[in-house]
């Protein structure tokens, strides 16, 4: 398995031999430290106490299994797969600067290509020249096509071109990169809305995924970003990046509870193969 073996486990279960008040308190503390958030932690631990009592559980090992079960239930907030049936399908990648949008597009392009899809990238981050260059490098690595315009050009026009090219080339899926920062937040939201409208007009709305990329190392801050984007963007899923090496995997639970949007992929490194589809059961296993 080893699916999420780069995620640090909670170490609470090793030092305890009985399930008492200290045990629950230590667990609570550990979950909060893992960035699960106060509310989500309280809810999980309360539920755990109830089930432990009800089932008369005595062994920490059994509590572990019980906690996993609760985490998996809490993570069940929607389908974790991508809906790309209608062609050309579109995946719009949004999120603030530096969270890993461009890198994730590169990794995802590689995955989708290997699955037999014709993939086209759209360099919708026209804010900096380097952004299109960076995406071009990923297009080369994944061996897929890319549509780009010059720095400062209209991203909606790039997307319009990409949609036309996708139809002409019979592409299966278009991955749209976007800027994470503009002169102000309102500008960014307006721009994303404009891009979204072009996609809806030129493509099949039933096969549009809007993936919000969040950096796991920013913890609860990421949730604030998510709420800001969520207000206008119609997010269909989350990609949580940089889970490699953090002990902050609990943020996945906070996202599920507070946003009600499923995590669909997680990033576990900077390489092209470091993207995993999100599997709640394997994740709970890795965390606990």
Ligand X SMILES: Nc1nc2c(ncn2[C@@H]2O[C@H](COP(=O)(O)OP(=O)(O)O)[C@@H](O)[C@H]2O)c(=O)[nH]1
Complex with ligand X: residue 99 or 254, whichever CB lies closer: 99
Minimum distance of ligand X from residue 215's CB (angstroms): 8
β 275-277/263-267 pair status: antiparallel
Question: Using the rule CB under 5 A, is 30 a contact of Mg ion?
Answer: no
CB 105 within 8 A of CB 135: yes
Minimum distance of ligand X from residue 49's CB (angstroms): 35
Binding site for ligand X (CB under 6 A): 95, 97-103, 180, 213, 241-242, 244, 267-270, 274
Question: Using the rule CB under 5 A, is 178 a contact of Mg ion?
Answer: no
Among 102, 225, 241, 246, binds Mg ion (CB under 5 A): 102
Dihedral angle sign, alpha carbons of residues 71, 209, 145, 139: negative
β 145-147/237-241 pair status: unpaired
Minimum distance of ligand X from residue 162's CB (angstroms): 17
Question: Using the rule CB under 5 A, is 225 a contact of Mg ion?
Answer: no
DSSP state for residue 13 in the 8-state scheme? G
Question: Using the rule CB under 5 A, is 126 a contact of Mg ion?
Answer: no
Residues 6+ apart with CB under 8 A from 150: 126, 129
Complex with Mg ion: residue 101 or 107, whichever CB lies closer: 101
Closest CA to 122 of 188, 198, 184, 183: 198
Minimum distance of Mg ion from residue 160's CB (angstroms): 20
């Amino acid at each position: 398995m080893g699916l999420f073996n780069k995620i640090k486990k909670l170490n609470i279960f090793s030092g305890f031999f009985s399930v008492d008040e200290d045990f629950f308190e230590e667990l609570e503390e550990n979950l909060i430290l893992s960035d699960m958030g106060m509310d989500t932690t309280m809810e999980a631990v309360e539920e755990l106490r109830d089930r432990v009592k009800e089932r008369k559980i005595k062994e920490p090992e059994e509590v572990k299994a019980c906690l996993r079960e609760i985490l998996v239930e809490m993570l069940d907030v929607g389908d974790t797969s991508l809906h790309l049936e209608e062609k050309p399908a579109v995946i719009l990648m949004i999120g603030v600067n530096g969270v890993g949008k461009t890198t994730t597009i590169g990794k995802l392009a590689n995955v989708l290509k290997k699955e037999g899809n014709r993939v086209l990238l759209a360099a919708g981050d026209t804010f900096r020249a380097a952004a299109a260059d960076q995406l071009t490098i990923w297009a080369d690595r994944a061996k897929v096509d890319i549509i780009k315009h010059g720095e400062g050009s209209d991203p909606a026009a790039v997307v319009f071109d990409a949609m036309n090219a996708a139809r002409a080339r019979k592409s299966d899926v278009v991955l749209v990169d976007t800027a994470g920062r503009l002169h102000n937040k309102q500008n960014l939201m307006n721009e994303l809305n404009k891009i979204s409208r072009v996609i809806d007009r030129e493509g099949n709305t039933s096969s549009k995924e809007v993936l919000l990329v969040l950096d796991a190392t920013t913890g609860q801050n990421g949730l604030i970003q998510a709420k800001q984007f969520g207000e206008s963007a119609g997010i269909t899923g989350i990609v949580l990046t940089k889970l490699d090496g953090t002990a902050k995997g609990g943020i996945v639970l906070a996202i599920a509870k507070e946003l009600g949007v499923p995590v669909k992929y997680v990033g576990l490194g900077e390489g092209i193969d470091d993207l995993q589809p999100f599997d709640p059961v394997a994740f709970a296993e890795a965390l606990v």
